[in-house]
Chains A and B, each alone.
Chain A
């Protein structure tokens, strides 16, 4: 009997070994695959187990966390959600994250290895650090001025500090409250469906994710190309351009809104916004020259990150002469984000050097110690410094004597350019009103701010829609707010 007992004991030992090997299989060898299974909610649960770090504007958090008491514990809250939505994006337990909430998620959720005091030890213990904060370059006053200026009309504002590239305001209107999307459940899915179904597209970030035909505002780029390539050497000399102007190779005549454009000087053409002059100058610069300049301003770049990705602003790379003529006055396929146009104004204001725009000044750990700090970087030398000086003069002239008088601020050197872009089939859509400008306080070494404003549905007649009427006052308010600091 004893022999059989021993064999039965051996059988039990076999069962034990099978259990242990199987445990090792599940807990060690297959553990990673099981952990990463999308149906495994543990990653999600641990993500929301602690307060999310905050996004900071002017030293004050514009976000928060709320203990929901549910399985996914902390939900995102927003102070002044609609105002800062184009900056923060949303952090939803149902729909993921966007914009800064997405780009800086590692810091905010505490998984960034830089947050861990002992990275290797954290790998072993798999512990999560308290979420760090993201300090933005946004200035609340500038942001509010832009938001209030748009006043719920469809449109967007981007403001940057020309000398550094710091983004001071990023506004899209109409906006939404990202807090509606924070949690889970019917209310959230309902809000999602409502926001996405709305014809006014409140969740579209028009400042960086929507491109518009820039219209006449683009003439600054064409002027830069003309000066840089020495197609124009004297801004006060006649340009020998005809009016009416027939688009090369076609029978189509290009109309002018302004008067007196025949053979006008570049200065006059910018002041009153002559289509004929700028179209012809674009053609004279030629495809290669225009392309070189627009790319130095940041067009045709789909890799720009602030750190959220910015949509590609377009200038076609292969066109016939008539298409190039239209493109040179911001029509045809030329499209730009409001941020791109703010970069155009900033490059002019900053002596031709285009700084890479950025939204995050620094990130900190939960105790406020800096983890990473962004510093200014040069993106391109968009034009010669001499060209920039001449363009500044042209833009100041446009504000003082031309289409942009609504943007003038007493005692401050302000340069600007209006734009009115037709769109839709046969240009039947309501035109977009543009205004790009910069402000340089007398006696200051650096220009204070560069702004681009676009207003989509300013429902007024052609003359009023022109950038000078709808967009310039908003730009002025934004510049005033930036100057006040």
Chain B
């Protein structure tokens, strides 16, 4: 569209902000969650839960506040991110509330609601206070130091269920490794953004493999090794796998060096094999994966993975209906690591597919923001955060469904676990921020001090 008259100024090319879309989707998300809550009550007790209105109002207010923060501080943000997060979090609360009904002595939903509120508060805080994601680039080394500290501290606390990933102070416990994910993503993104050309184009070439100079690659490999080492010491394989995947994906996106990825995967495979054969905790997980019904044959009854598979199978295509399943048979960790089994049993393959697609949509919107952004740091950060979600969903969903060996990890937003919910809200806040930058109309002038975006050959 071009201006035809000289006098009239060209109309502003207004990109739609799509805040109205976000608001209406949020209403749907809250309604779906409240419907689930009521459905559970009707199935289990034959009555609408007395606090259904309060629950709906609480979730609605949280969603509204988050929406207002986005509307005023990140008006161009992707409209799908927040509703998906609210829906998944609301669904998670419903599933935990539903499992709470089976365990009257262990009520997890109220705590989870408090954590969710805190998560939304942090979400709002990040959206309001962080005006530009590029600020984070300056704190790359602070981030990595903090991340390492967070990962090392739990070593000094007693192990919980075989993994030393908890800090317990009084009755309060959290997993610092969860927060470390974001910090590491920030560091990887910042470092790779600054050094990607050096990584990709300098250094010696040995046969077909171009090695970067040690000066550039050294720090990143050292920090990666350190973080993975710490995790192996803490026996938290899920997070270890997550960090490795994150590192590989970001390195690939930053440099495009397929050869390194191949070498990395090879090393990972060798490492996984060695750890899997030698470390007893990991070895038993691999054995459980290969033979989920071994304990039944041995007369000890079904193990957790077998119970989880039973739950998924019981759901079938359409599911038993909320509140009508028996996933509580899984026992320990039914509300956290195995929460997906409850979704699978009570919502069926159809519901589970919907949940997976919600995650996929969340990841896709992150990638989309990454594609639209113009600064390498923002791109890498968006890809990193989205990949964290993707990998985490794959590792735990694949684990509880017998696709890969089971490693303890929280299903983002769904699973019980305060640190996880808070972390995921921060991840969504950062994605909101970068997507706002990606869709915001270009300012007329280029800010000084920022290098103009390089137009790449393959764009």
Contact = CB atoms under 8 A, between A and B. Distances in A.
B154 interface: no
A401 interface: no
Interface stretch (B16-24, B92-100, B272-280, B344-352): B344-352
Contacts of A28: 316-317, 349
A31 B371 contact: no
B293 interface: yes
Contacts of B458: 1-3
Contact of B310 (A3, A9, A18, A42): A42
Contacts of B379: 1, 5
Contact of A26 (B376, B390, B401): B401
A20 B356 contact: yes
A95 interface: no
Contact of B309 (A2, A20, A34, A41): A34
A23 B401 contact: yes
A252 to B, nearest CB: 56
The winner among A15, A22, A34, A41 for most chain B CB atoms within 10 A is: A15
A8 interface: yes
A45 interface: yes
A16 interface: yes
A4 B253 contact: yes
Nearest to B312: A26
Contact of A4 (B252, B316, B387, B397): B252
Given A26-B402, A31-B314, 7 more contacts: A1-B256, A5-B370, A5-B379, A8-B367, A18-B403, A27-B317, A28-B349
Contact of B397 (A7, A19, A45): A19
A29 to B, nearest CB: 10
Interface of A: 1-9, 11-13, 15-16, 18-20, 22-24, 26-28, 30-35, 37-42, 45, 126
Contacts of B256: 1, 3-4
Contacts of A42: 310, 314, 326, 329
A16 B398 contact: no
Nearest to B350: A27
B313 interface: yes
A27 B394 contact: no
A20 B350 CA distance: 10
A39 B301 CA distance: 6
B387 A12 contact: yes
A27 B348 contact: yes
B326 A5 contact: no
Contacts of B367: 5, 8-9, 12
A291 to B, nearest CB: 49
11 contacts: A1-B256, A5-B383, A9-B364, A12-B386, A16-B356, A19-B401, A26-B313, A37-B296, A39-B293, A39-B302, A42-B329
B360 interface: yes
B459 interface: yes
A8 B383 contact: yes
A18 B398 contact: yes
Nearest to B395: A15
A23 B301 CA distance: 24
B253 A1 contact: yes
A54 to B, nearest CB: 23
A16 B360 contact: yes
Given A8-B253, A8-B367, A23 B326 contact: no
B217 to A, nearest CB: 18
Nearest to B348: A27
A39 B401 CA distance: 18
Interface of B: 249, 252-254, 256, 293, 296, 301-302, 306, 309-310, 312-317, 326, 329, 344, 348-349, 352-353, 356, 360, 363-364, 367, 370-371, 376, 379, 383, 386-387, 390-391, 393-394, 397-398, 401-403, 456, 458-459
Contacts of A30: 309, 313
A260 to B, nearest CB: 69
Contacts of A32: 313
A44 B390 CA distance: 37
Contacts, number: 130
A39 B306 contact: yes
Nearest to A15: B394
A142 B60 CA distance: 69
Contacts of B403: 18-19, 22
B398 A5 contact: no
Contacts of A26: 309, 312-313, 344, 401-402
Contact of B316 (A1, A9, A31): A31
B316 A8 contact: no
A22 B458 CA distance: 35
Contact of B456 (A2, A34, A45, A126): A2
A41 B352 CA distance: 22
The winner among B387, B390, B398 for most chain A CB atoms within 10 A is: B390
Contacts of A24: 349
A23 B344 contact: yes
A11 B253 CA distance: 12
B239 to A, nearest CB: 17
Nearest to A46: B326
Contacts of A33: 313
A35 B344 contact: no
Nearest to B320: A126
In order of increasing CB-CB distance, the 8 nearest A-B pairs are A34-B313, A31-B313, A27-B349, A39-B296, A15-B394, A39-B302, A22-B403, A12-B390
A33 B314 CA distance: 10
A9 B363 CA distance: 9
A251 B379 CA distance: 112
Contact of A12 (B309, B317, B363, B376): B363
Contacts of A4: 252-254, 256
Given A8-B253, A28-B316, A41-B326, A23 B349 contact: yes
B388 to A, nearest CB: 11
Nearest to B368: A9
Contacts of B252: 4, 7-8
Nearest to A18: B403
Contacts of B296: 37-39
A49 to B, nearest CB: 9
A41 B328 CA distance: 11
Nearest to A16: B360
A32 to B, nearest CB: 8
B97 to A, nearest CB: 20
Given A9-B364, A39-B293, A22 B398 contact: yes
A8 B302 contact: no
Given A20-B353, A27-B349, A8 B387 contact: yes
Nearest to A40: B310
Contacts of B315: 27
B371 A23 contact: no
A22 B402 contact: yes
B399 to A, nearest CB: 11
Contacts of A45: 326
B290 to A, nearest CB: 15
A2 B293 contact: no
